[in-house]
Amino acid sequence: MKRSDRLAAIVMALQTGTETAQSLADKFEVSKRTILRDMQALSEMGVPFYAATGPVGGYRLMDGYKLPPLQFSPLEAMTVLCALQGMTQLADTPFNAERWSALSKIKQALPEQVRSEIEPFLDKLILSMPKRNYRVPVLNRLMDCAAEGIWIQAHYRSASQMRWLRLRPLHIVSAHGYWYCEAFSHDHGEERTFRVDRFQEIERIEAPAELEASRLKRSRVKEAPDAGGGEIPIRARLTYRGALLAEQDEHIGDRVLQIGEEEWEVEFECPRSEWEWAAGFFYGLGPDAEVLEPPALRRAIRDRAARMCERYAADEPAGEPRVQQISKEEER
């Protein structure tokens, strides 16, 4: 980032609230000394700011000071437009109309030279997400509840049942083409993630008097070796398809490495509380993954496969080879 652009960005940051030299350095990925020099330059340019001391101190702009209308650089304009184009792929959002109107307004506001410079790139940069078909009528209210930090009673439809839950929404997250609500569940005694399109109804309630976390908390550690704290090292070999699927996982996606022409590996430390997830994840990859270690995870996946074979073996006629049976079914 050019220094002139950074100076303007610093003033815009100060327009939204107090900033320390360190917070500005972190935002713009420069040293604290560089920010101090920038603040000196802004003072010499006549930007009216002052430094407040104390625990909540930092740099602040004088009341009433505003920057002139924004002027986007080509890269800044492309950043905003790419983000908005990605947002248009969501089936439902709190700002369905606004995402399109904002896209049009920004394009129209850009100088012709900037617009012609970035348009070829916009057709080549794609923020992809799965196509979904759903509605999220309670999303706006959930966002308000999360922002206010209040408790709700929610009628929630899970994969197996519908029931009322007492929740305190913490974050609203968009991932994999869906909206999710991360919330503390009084009924489960822990933080859990809920699909927003499965909320049927919500209403505000007073905070529960007792969380009863010790009684309600459920451990998901069932088959983890040497049950207890700590993490379990996991290493697995992947095919190309397996690597693509593993890269989509938010927790281990960045640990996938190519080690050969057609061979990939993933290696990570798995919390013992996520042992069941690990067994299900690699079992679901089928022939596109082979767990190399630990042996306990290989056994857990083998046991799952054996149970699956038993489920389907009951349908096979006794004594008839499986390949021959499939051929007869195809002929019919």
If we measure between CA atoms, which residue out of 245, 234, 235, 303 comes closest to residue 272? 234
Q: Are 233 and 242 in contact (CB under 8 A)?
A: no
Q: Which of 27, 61, 95 is the last residue of a domain?
A: 61
Residue carrying the six token digits 């349908």: 315
Which residues sit opposite 231 in a β-bridge? 271
Strands (E), the chain: 49-52, 58-61, 151-157, 162-175, 178-185, 190-195, 199-205, 231-238, 256-260, 263-271, 289-293
Same domain, 13 and 83: no
Q: What is the pLDDT of residues 210-269, one digit of tens each?
A: 544 443 443 344 444 554 557 899 999 999 999 999 988 878 888 999 988 889 999 999
Spatial separation of the C-alpha atoms in residues 210 and 186, rounded to whole Å: 9
Residue 329 lies in a domain: no
Q: Exposed, middle or buried by CB within 10 Å (0-12, 13-18, 19+), for 106?
A: middle
Inside any domain, residue 128: no
Q: Is residue 69 part of a domain?
A: no
156 and 114 within one domain: no
190 in the same domain as 156: yes
Does the pLDDT value for residue 320 go beyond 80? no
Residue type at 61? L
Q: Is residue 163 part of a domain?
A: yes
Are 247 and 309 in the same domain?
yes
The reply to whether 303 falls in a domain is yes
Rounded to two decimals, the pTM is 0.53
205/169 same-domain check: yes
| pLDDT tens string 160-196 | 788 999 999 999 998 888 899 999 999 888 889 999 9
* Whole-number Å distance between alpha carbons of 108 and 102: 10
| Residues spanned by the domain of 24 | 3-61
Residues 258 and 302 in one domain: yes
pLDDT of residue 203: 94
Higher pLDDT: 80 or 320? It is 80
Whether residue 87 sits in one domain with residue 54: no
Q: Which range (61-65, 68-72, 241-245) has the least confidence? A: 68-72
Query: For residue 319, is it within any domain?
Result: no
Is position 268 within any domain?
yes
Per-residue model confidence as pLDDT tens digits over 103-117: 888 887 788 888 888
Distance of CA 182 to the CA centre of its chain: 11
Tell me how far apart the alpha carbons of residues 70 and 17 are, in angstroms, rounded to a whole number: 18
For 130, the token pair is: 């799965």
Please write the tens of the pLDDT for every residue from 17-56.
889 999 999 988 899 999 999 999 988 888 888 888 877 7
Residues 157 and 186 in one domain: yes
Residue 24: CATH number of its domain: 1.10.10.10
How many domains does the chain contain in total?
A: 4
